[in-house]
Amino acid sequence: MNALKLIQVDAFADRPFTGNPAAVMPLDAWLPDEMLQAIAMENNLSETAFTIPDASGEANYELRWFTPTTEVALCGHATLASGHVLIEGDVIRFRTRKAGILTVGRDGEALTLNLPATLVEPARNDALLAALGTPDAGYFVSCAGIEGTVIILLEDAAAVRACTPDFAALAKIDVMAIVTARGGDEADAVSRVFVSAWGIDEDPVTGSAHAALTPFWAERLGRDTLAFFQASARGGHLTGRLAGDRVILGGRCVTVIEGFMRI
């Protein structure tokens, strides 16, 4: 029986039990994919991040992410959590299979996460809007994103909080659905994120969603640096800065569990 180190981190959080929890498991070498998936299912968090030392010289570590049901191409909060666990200097680099090189850096007591920007264009999907219970909302879809990303623009923050999706219907639509509106006094913009098709009905605080929300709101508000609040039950604050074709997210992390998984 092997004992594998496991660290659970609340990402985009300044205190325990807020933000988005992620498990981070540093490995010496990749386990079989079915074992990685089984570990993620056992953890039953929105994401489990696995790393191994990078032998290519491009980065410090290779990085992969698994939900309880599937491997995903990009996860922001679990990348930030992995940086929180593994960073030694000012910057740590992760090599990923589909998202390229991702970096996590220090910014005082916070961390920054550098992601590729996701751009969206107006479109229409009546089935998705019906599943979200927002039939009259504005709808924008990514055409070249790493994974299917949809932004649904609602009239105000109250409408975002009141959104009550039909999760069974949503599970049949293979996208990350982001409902968002201007945030008023709380933040520049608020959002909630639903990914039922990937085994997560509502994700608490989603870094990859803000890779799309940052350019979306930067265009509408006329500035490149923004404050966001993701209005899930746990809730989380983060910042986003548009830098060319990249988005720099900022937030804090808190370690809540350290131990070993025996397999």
The set of catalytic residues is 47
Instruction: Tell me the pairing of strands 138-142 and 120-122.
Output: antiparallel
Kindly calculate the radius of gyration of the chain based on its CA atoms and give it in whole angstroms.
17
Q: In the chain, what's the furthest Cα-to-Cα distance?
A: 56
Nearest to 225 by CA among 209, 239, 204: 239
Dihedral of CA 253/207/111/33: which sign?
A: positive
The residue written with tokens 């994919």 in the block is 33
> b/e string for 76-95 if b means 16 or more Cβ within 10 A?
bbbbbbbbbbbeeeeebbbb
Phi, psi at 204, each rounded to 5°: -65, -50
